[in-house]
Every structure is written in C-alpha cells, then in structure tokens.
C-alpha cells in the first residue's frame, strides 16, 4: 500500500503548478512594489518638487522649512524629526494645502510608503 504523499511524489507532484503560481504571485508583488526603499530620493524629490517647493524653498520658506535643503540622513534625530513631521502633514492631508495642486491618492500613498520603510530602516 502506498501512502498518498509518496504516490504524489512518484506522479511528479501534481500540485507544483499551483505552488509555482503562488510563488510567481508573491514574487510579482515584491518586484512590482511601487514604493521600494531604494526609491526614497527619487520619490521624495519628485513629490516635493511638484507639490512643496513653491512654498517650502528659497530664503524665506513657509514654516521655516526649506525642503530643498532637508538632508536625507534619517539616522540624525533632527532630520528624522523633520521627515516624520512632513510624513504626518502629508498623511493627514494638511499638506499640500487645499488651495494648492493636490497629489493623486497613488502619489501620496507611494511617498508615505517609501518614507515608512525609510523610518523603519533608520531605527
């Protein structure tokens, strides 16, 4: 009498196509992730350049926050504090202000996802 597991192994393991599909699906999610940690500078620069620098740049930036000069060294407590504040304002919808061009939900989510990953990596 054969056990079902051994019989399946001898038949070429009929569940392998299913496992291959599951593996492909999970690897696709990882590869197609819209917000990978190595995207931090590019995503932050694109978002800030489009939605923030009109007010937060130059010699007299709004809120005394010049985002064009904000260092990306999140291991520095002061820099991290400022990035967390930016995250909070973007996540809550306070920034950009209602009377300014607004990012799409996907743009906002992508920036917040990248920042979240960077915050975790900096801990």
Least confident of 35-39, 82-86, 111-115: 35-39
Q: Is the pTM of this model over 0.75?
A: no
d(CA 1, CA 9): 15
- C-alpha pair distances (Å), 28 with each of 19, 33, 91, 112: 14, 8, 27, 21
pLDDT digits (tens, 9 = 90+) for 19-32: 554 454 444 444 44
Q: Which phi and psi angles does 35 have, rounded to 5°?
A: -140, 80
pLDDT digits (tens, 9 = 90+) for 29-65: 444 444 444 567 888 899 999 999 999 999 999 999 9
Of 13 and 86, more confident = 86
- Give me the pLDDT at residue 35, please: 45
Enumerate long-range contacts of 20-23, CB under 8 Å, 24 or more apart.
Answer: none
Average model confidence (pLDDT) across the chain:
79
- Give me the pLDDT at residue 37, please: 44
d(CA 36, CA 118): 9
């Amino acid at each position: 009498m054969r056990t079902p597991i051994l019989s399946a192994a001898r038949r070429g393991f009929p569940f392998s196509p299913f496992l291959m599909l599951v593996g492909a699906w999970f690897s696709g999610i990882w590869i197609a992730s819209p917000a990978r940690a190595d995207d931090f500078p590019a995503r932050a620069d694109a978002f800030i350049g489009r939605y923030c620098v009109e007010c937060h740049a130059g010699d007299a930036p709004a809120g005394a926050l010049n985002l064009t000069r904000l260092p990306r060294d999140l291991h520095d407590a002061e820099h991290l504090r400022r990035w967390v504040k930016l995250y909070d304002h973007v996540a809550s919808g306070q920034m950009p202000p209602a009377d300014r061009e607004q990012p799409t939900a996907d743009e906002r989510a992508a920036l917040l996802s990248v920042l979240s990953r960077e915050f975790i990596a900096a801990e």
